[in-house]
Amino acid sequence: MELLIGKTAGFCFGVERAVEGAISELKKENELYCLGEIVHNKEVIKDLDKQGLRFIEKLDEGRNKVIIRAHGIEKELYEKAKDLNIQLIDLTCPKVLKIHKIAEEYAEKGFYIFLIGKKNHPETIGTVSYCGENVYIIENSGDIDKAFEDLHEKNIDKILVICQTTFSMVEYEKIVKDISYKKENNIELEIKNTICSATKLRQEETIELASKVDAMIIIGGKNSSNTNKLYEISKKITETFIVENKEEVNFEQMKKYEKIGIMAGASTPKKSIEEIIEILQSMW
């Protein structure tokens, strides 16, 4: 058996910053809350819970200090925190904050915003709150016509296209191409590819690895957008398994493959990756 391990597998900068920030705050506080899951990975959540971090769904469930997750929150919650006398520890990924700034700036200029992303993803929900009233979430090319209908009804002639940081590059490029094709000549179109560079590199490396192996193991939270994108990309090329930890790997099944590729999502801790690699290596 030969293992090919992705160089970009594991924590990205934004996730590492958020997790390390939470650990640092836990050393100073007896009581600390986080609004939503700090990152989409059960192993990370379990570890931080053991250290005393309490995860809440609504801001008013917290007290004193509340951490803002890596995905960010809605704009109005910053003001609500002041009203509740809650100090926010903002661990939003800087790349997500940059999108908020872009969205707010273009909304003020009168642009209609086409936001490419998953409607129910926390990052998308947060970004929408910075887009003003004129925004449409586009999950796939099937949503484009409805977005243009709303644009025309509101008589707006300027579009800004932005994207969830963890969206599929392949899907993004197809959607942007379709938007450009359907746009009338009198409509001004600005496109800003806000997919995180770490996401892009992981997706590219996954394609490269999957084309060289008999099977791929994608490690990460099954509720993680970027992990699921890696799985979707890989399974189109070779047999692919998505797991959250070593307990979910069928190691007996892995024995039939001569070459196995390992890739992990941006919120997957090093420990989860190393444990699986160690067991696979011991099977040689």
pLDDT in tens, 68-101: 999 999 999 999 999 999 999 999 999 999 999 9
* Span 241-254, average pLDDT: 96
| Separation between Cα atoms, residue 154 and residue 38, nearest integer Å | 37
* Span 130-137, average pLDDT: 98
- 284, pLDDT greater than 80: no
Residue pair 190/157 in contact by the 8 Å Cβ criterion:
no
- 1, pLDDT greater than 90: no
So which residues are the catalytic ones?
A: 123
Share of residues in the chain with pLDDT > 90 (%): 98
* Span 23-52, average pLDDT: 95
- Cβ-based neighbour number of residue 94 at 10 Å: 10
How does residue 144 score in pLDDT terms, banded at 50, 70 and 90? very high
Characterize the bridge pairing of strands 188-191 and 158-163: parallel
pLDDT in tens, 39-77: 999 999 999 999 999 999 999 999 999 999 999 999 999
Compute the mean pLDDT over every residue in the chain, rounded to the nearest whole number.
96
* Span 5-25, average pLDDT: 96
**CA nearest 11: which of 280, 248, 271?**
271
Backbone region of residue 47 per phi and psi (left: phi > 0; alpha: psi in -120 to 50; beta: other values) = alpha
17-25 own/partner pairs: CB under 8 Å, 24+ apart: 17/70, 17/91, 17/93, 17/94, 18/69, 18/70, 18/91, 18/92, 18/93, 19/44, 19/48, 21/67, 21/89, 21/91, 22/48, 22/53, 22/67, 22/91, 23/48, 23/51, 25/65, 25/67, 25/89
